[in-house]
């Protein structure tokens, strides 16, 4: 038993040490000095203050524009295939329908067959007469395109918000045509709103692979050292601008430095690869029509994109002049991809092949990211502001102060009750409870979670659940002692018999939390995350830590009478 007790003491102290280390940045500002972790617990909008926006995406206008483009594309395809028709006209009544006018009933049959063969997954014929066919998009195709528009808008907004330097922004879709934007800690709301509506900049640039990569990296380090700046200390756009100014005369004229994020890195600060790209763009994103993920000849993921007529002409010329060179797809001076141009591309679509090697799901995710980035050259639709709430720092400070006060009062009452009612075992419960709160905060910090008022409620609820577990254990020990069992035997049987009840209660609560995390958003999800972290830590402290402390008291300090068994 002594050996197992030593192991439990070691595990408890090790976990306590790790939790304290992880929590320290929340209490002490280490600045540039070394520490194990610099992560801090983030506060949500309701605590820290900030900007809350609900934006409506004008999906109807986008669908109307897509239908118009589809009508023109369909007209060109039927001419190319020799299908007879008079004209293709968008409907004035519905933005997802259009009419194909023909000369006779035979042409109706030919057009219908052409549509079924080539557009069966997107379009369907509603009805027809001898001279007219009414066609509309399938509901599934409309839903898919609507989601694409929303995702594209979110990507652009996220790029703009990241540029503004907001920590832990929340940008999520709501319903079929709305986007919720929450920016904690932001002070200049007007600048943030203007930034959100600003269009992203997409360019296609040639990569200079003749300039030595090591030499370029050395020049960048020298410029950073001399100018005393790095990415992270200043915003990315300012960093790239300053770096290129400092490198003038050191890199070839007509070229500039942009960066590509290392695949294994989460942010550019964590890992970036410099590329020397042409100062003049081959063409820009405003000439792009669409981009989506497709499958190649061997089912390998690839990104398929298309330009308008002017874009197609310029893309054809540029690819023809730069065969075997790399073409960088640059969004806001960040290189999203740099594929090699294999030949002159003069077709309705072009493609970026990602290869079939490696993890297929990761490759698919990369393809979807590139496709979204290609579409994110500008906001896909107008954004209408439906709701705006600004939570001031004063209100946030009041929330924190009241939350601390409520938490301290509640915790003190619980600690005092356990101490008065269970005496020495109350000390054990108080130690376990204090460690439980510390572990919850440490876990939330390590997960980079955002603490909101519902999250605080989850912590308070966890405290109650942890105390409940201790009460069950202590009462079972009390019952064993009343039966005449020895102290060590009562402790062993008390923990053993209480475990199943505690485990069952926590498992059912964890199942509810999982449902809330899956279906819930915002505050609901924050509450669930905090509560499920609390369940894990309270199980550990109530069962493992409490037993360790009790056995230390009995075996090391020879405390034979832990509690009264009278009555």
**Residue, of 169 and 164, whose pLDDT is higher:** 169
Under the banding of pLDDT at 50, 70 and 90, the label for residue 2 is very low
pLDDT at 565: 46
**Residue, of 353 and 567, whose pLDDT is higher:** 353
Does residue 337 contact residue 370 with C-beta atoms inside 8 Å?
A: yes
Under the banding of pLDDT at 50, 70 and 90, the label for residue 219 is very high
SS3 255: strand
Question: Which domains are assigned to the chain?
Answer: 2-44+392-555 (1.20.1640.10), 60-141 (3.30.1360), 201-375 (3.30.1360.200)
Residue 215 structure tokens: 């030499």
pLDDT at 50: 77
Under the banding of pLDDT at 50, 70 and 90, the label for residue 275 is very high
Q: What percent of the chain shows pLDDT beyond 90?
A: 7
pLDDT at 257: 93
Rg (CA), the chain: 32
Under the banding of pLDDT at 50, 70 and 90, the label for residue 9 is confident
- Mean local confidence (pLDDT), 305-322: 84
- Mean local confidence (pLDDT), 46-54: 77
pLDDT at 241: 87
Residue 522 confidence (pLDDT) above 60? yes
SS3 534: helix
pLDDT at 83: 87
pLDDT at 106: 86
How many other C-beta atoms are found inside a 10 Å radius of the C-beta of residue 252? 13
Nearest 5°: phi and psi at 11?
-65, -45
Max avg pLDDT among 138-152, 168-182, 519-533: 138-152
Least reliable range by pLDDT among 78-82, 88-92, 461-465, 468-472: 461-465
How many other C-beta atoms are found inside a 10 Å radius of the C-beta of residue 515? 10
Residue 407 confidence (pLDDT) above 80? no
Cα–Cα distances (Å) from 388 to 36, 54, 88, in that order, read 39, 7, 43
Under the banding of pLDDT at 50, 70 and 90, the label for residue 566 is very low
Give rounded-to-5 percent helix, strand, coil for the chain. Answer: 55, 20, 25
Segment 116-167, tens digit of pLDDT = 888 888 888 888 888 889 999 998 888 888 888 888 888 778 766 765 656 5
| Residue 28 DSSP label | S
Segment 430-483, tens digit of pLDDT = 888 889 889 988 888 888 777 777 888 888 888 877 888 888 888 888 888 888
Under the banding of pLDDT at 50, 70 and 90, the label for residue 418 is confident
pLDDT at 400: 64
Task: Give 421's contacts (C-beta < 8 A, 6+ positions apart).
Answer: none
Residue 19 confidence (pLDDT) above 70? yes
- Sign of the Cα pseudo-torsion (482, 484, 486, 491, in order): negative
CA dist., res. 469 & res. 544, Å (int): 12
Does residue 340 contact residue 324 with C-beta atoms inside 8 Å?
A: yes
The mean pLDDT of the chain is 81
Under the banding of pLDDT at 50, 70 and 90, the label for residue 187 is low
Does residue 200 contact residue 380 with C-beta atoms inside 8 Å?
A: no
Under the banding of pLDDT at 50, 70 and 90, the label for residue 61 is confident
Segment 382-392, tens digit of pLDDT = 777 787 777 66
CA dist., res. 90 & res. 465, Å (int): 62
Under the banding of pLDDT at 50, 70 and 90, the label for residue 258 is very high
Nearest 5°: phi and psi at 306?
-140, 150
């Amino acid at each position: 038993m002594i050996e197992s007790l030593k192991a439990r003491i070691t595990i408890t102290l090790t976990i306590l040490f790790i939790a304290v280390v992880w929590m320290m940045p929340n209490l002490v500002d280490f600045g540039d000095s070394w520490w194990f972790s610099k992560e801090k617990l983030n506060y949500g909008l309701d605590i820290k203050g900030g900007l809350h926006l609900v934006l409506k995406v004008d999906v109807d206008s986008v669908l109307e524009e897509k239908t118009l483009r589809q009508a023109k594309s369909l007209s060109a395809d039927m001419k190319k295939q020799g299908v007879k028709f008079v004209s293709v006209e968008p409907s004035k009544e519905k933005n997802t329908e259009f009419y194909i006018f023909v000369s006779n009933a035979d042409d109706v049959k030919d057009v219908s067959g052409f549509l079924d063969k080539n557009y069966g997954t997107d379009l369907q014929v509603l009805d027809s007469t001898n001279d007219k066919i009414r066609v509309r998009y399938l509901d599934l195709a409309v839903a898919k395109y609507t989601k694409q528009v929303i995702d594209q808008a979110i990507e652009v907004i996220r790029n703009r918000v990241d540029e503004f330097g907001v920590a832990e922004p929340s940008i999520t879709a709501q319903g079929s045509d709305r986007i919720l934007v929450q920016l904690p800690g932001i002070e200049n709301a007007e600048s943030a709103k203007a930034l959100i509506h600003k269009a992203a900049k997409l360019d296609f640039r040639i990569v200079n692979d003749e300039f030595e990569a090591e030499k370029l990296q050395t020049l960048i380090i020298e410029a950073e050292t001399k100018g005393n700046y790095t990415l992270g200390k200043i915003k990315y756009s300012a960093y790239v601008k300053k770096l290129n100014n400092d490198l003038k005369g050191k890199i070839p004229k007509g070229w500039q430095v942009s960066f590509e994020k290392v695949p294994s890195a989460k942010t550019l600060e964590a890992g970036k690869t410099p590329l020397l790209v042409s100062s003049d763009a081959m063409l820009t994103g405003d000439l792009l029509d669409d981009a989506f993920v497709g499958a190649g000849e061997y089912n390998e993921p690839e990104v398929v994109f298309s330009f308008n007529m002017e874009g197609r002409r310029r893309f054809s010329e540029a690819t023809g002049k730069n065969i075997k060179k790399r073409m960088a797809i640059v969004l806001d001076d960040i290189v999203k991809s740099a594929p090699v141009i294999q030949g002159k591309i003069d077709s309705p679509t072009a493609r970026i092949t990602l290869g079939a090697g490696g993890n297929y799901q990761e490759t698919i995710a990369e393809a979807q990211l590139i496709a979204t980035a290609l579409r994110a050259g500008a906001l896909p639709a107008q954004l209408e502001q439906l709701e705006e709430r600004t939570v001031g720092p004063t209100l946030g400070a009041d929330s924190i102060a009241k939350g601390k006060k409520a938490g301290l009062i509640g915790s003190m009452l619980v600690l005092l009750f356990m101490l008065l009612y269970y005496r020495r075992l109350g000390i054990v419960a108080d130690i376990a409870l204090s460690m439980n709160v510390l572990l919850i905060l440490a876990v939330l910090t390590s997960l980079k979670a955002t603490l909101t008022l519902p999250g605080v409620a989850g912590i308070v609820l966890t405290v109650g659940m942890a105390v409940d577990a201790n009460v069950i254990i202590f009462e079972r020990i009390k019952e064993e002692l009343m039966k005449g069992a020895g102290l060590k035997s009562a402790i062993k049987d008390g923990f053993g018999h209480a475990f199943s009840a505690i485990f069952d209660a926590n498992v059912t609560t964890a199942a509810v939390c999982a449902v809330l995390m899956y279906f819930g958003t915002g505050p609901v999800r924050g509450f669930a995350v905090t509560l499920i972290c609390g369940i894990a830590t309270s199980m550990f402290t109530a069962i493992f830590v409490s037993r360790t402390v009790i056995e230390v008291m009995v075996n090391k300090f020879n405390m034979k009478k832990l509690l009264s068994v009278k009555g």
